[in-house]
Structure 1
Amino acid sequence: MRPRTALLLTLALAATPALAQQEISKVNGSITADAGQTYGDLDTVNGSIRIGEGATTEDASTVNGSINIGDKAVAESLETVNGSIRAGKDVNVRKDVETVNGSIFIDRGGVVGGDIETVNGAIGIVSTQVGGEITTVRGDITVGVGSKVRGGLRVQKSTGFFNTDNKKPPRIVIGPNAEVTGPLVFERPVVLYVHTSAKIGPVTGATAKPFSTDTAPTE
């Protein structure tokens, strides 16, 4: 191989990861990661983030905006402050999924390596594996059919000026064939429903109400 050809090939190979791992950072505006493409960090302040089907990204974070991640996409972590997070089927998030004011939903086949956490917002998963803990303060939690949560489940007590523990208690549902192998700790009143086919760890701060139908009873 000629020296010049070898040099050009080396430069091309070195440039490929940089192109593939492009990072997108904004202050105002939404971000779209195209389907099937590979990105670095996706970061905006005022805007939503949409990750296309089969795309791969590093950390995706926003302050004021929602995050939507398509089927079979992969992300290092998903985080927003004011906005919901919704993941399609067979999504893989290697670390945490977090929001403060907004809901989180992860569809069938999902894998979350770390924690799932909200303060004000419901959490719902279906046939999803969670390596860490599911935590909320004021939101409902549904560990749907076939889901497995290794790190346990926690509803934290409200503190300070925003104490709302006297409001309607969160509704916690552990669905058919679901497993929560870690402890279930409730620091404020909740309504806890556990399917008769589900398996759970020790419960603190609540009494489980068993059910055997496809969905939990409504109050």
Structure 2
Amino acid sequence: MHCKTALSFALASLLFAGTASARGIDVDKVNGSIHIEGDQQAGALSTVNGSIRIDGGGSATKVSTVNGSIELGDRATAESLETVNGGIDLGAGARISGTVNTVNGGVRLGKGAEIAGRASNVNGRYVLDAAHIGGGIETVSGDIEVGADSRVEGGILVEKPHGWSWGKQRNPRIVIGPHAIVEGTLDFRREVELFVSDTATVGEIKGAKATKFSGDQP
């Protein structure tokens, strides 16, 4: 009986160790940056004051910071990315299986990069280079460049700013590049400058009039 119990405990311990190893180690800091080297697996990564970088081929689960940027190298993966003050940069072929959120910062997707969920910010430029966003794009004051051969599902939402503002605000500039596809509604709840390539495919446009262009840029 004792041998059977000991064997069961040993097997359970091995199973737990294997799961922990596959998931990687969580890193939780207050001050300081976090760096995951290439091909390493990590768990949840969190800091308050510092940037987070995952080198090419590395992986993590939830990645979050308050004051700092988040950068994933080529083919790196994570479940979700979130920052308040900082940009988010995805290398070629990087993949996020969930959402990407920043308040004050741009979002850049390298060639072949993918965000399966929604991407949202308040201020900061979006740039997609033959990349894919599966859950739509949301912003208030950010420019959006859906580059050539990129695909966005779930539409684009540009919200109206709330609160007081001083002086005349600059209108966001939205560019849908050659052979790009935006499925779903392009919903503009404030004035924007909208440029759509004559080879792009877009859904219903609300709140703006598209200016067509030919070539690489308007």
TM > 0.5: yes
| CA–CA separation in structure 1 for the residues paired with 2:40 and 2:15 | 17
Change (3 A) 1:76 1:181: same
1:33 to partner: Cα distance: 1.3
- Percent identity, please: 44
State the shift of 1:34 in Å. 1.7
Preserved CA contact (<8 Å) 1:100 1:119: yes
Q: In the alignment, is the contact (CA less than 8 A) between 1:165 and 1:189 conserved in 2?
A: no
Given the alignment, which residue of 195, 198, 217 partners 1:196? 198
SS state at 1:57 partner: coil
For structure 1, the residue ranges without an aligned partner over 5 or more in a row are: none
Partner of 1:131: 134
Per the alignment, residue 171 of structure 1 pairs with: 173
Q: Which moved more, 1:85-94 or 1:13-22?
A: 13-22
For 1:16 and 1:63, locate their aligned partners in 2 and report how far apart those are by CA, in whole Å: 32
**Quick one: structure 1 residues 77 and 193, their matched pair in 2 at CA, closer, same or farther if it must change by over 3 Å?**
same
Moved over 2 A (4+): 2-14, 163-166
Q: 2:76 aligns with which of 49, 69, 73?
A: 73
Measure how far apart 1:13 and its partner are.
4.7
Q: Do 1:157 and 1:165's aligned partners in 2 also have CA atoms closer than 8 Å?
A: no
Shift in CA distance, 164/211, structure 1 to aligned 2, threshold 3 Å: farther
Matched, 1:56 2:46: no
What is the aligned counterpart of 2:18 among 16, 19, 29? 16
When residues 132 and 49 of structure 1 are mapped into structure 2, their CA distance, relative to the original with a 3 A threshold, is: same
- Say if 1:181 and 1:200, in contact at 8 Å, map to a contact too: yes
Q: For the residues of structure 2 that align with 1:96 and 1:194, how far apart are their CA atoms?
A: 26
Paired residue total: 214
Confirm or deny: 8 A CA contact 1:151 1:182 kept in the other structure.
Answer: yes
Deviation at 1:128, TM superposition (A): 1.2
Question: How far, CA to CA, are the matches of 1:122 and 1:201 in structure 2?
Answer: 21
1:142 aligned residue: 145
Whole-Å Cα distance in 1 between the matches of residues 78 and 71 of structure 2? Answer: 11
Match of 1:83 among 83, 86, 90: 86
Separation in 1 of the partners of 2:92 and 2:178?
19
Q: Is the 8 A contact 1:149 1:180 kept in 2?
A: yes
Aligned to 1:27: 30
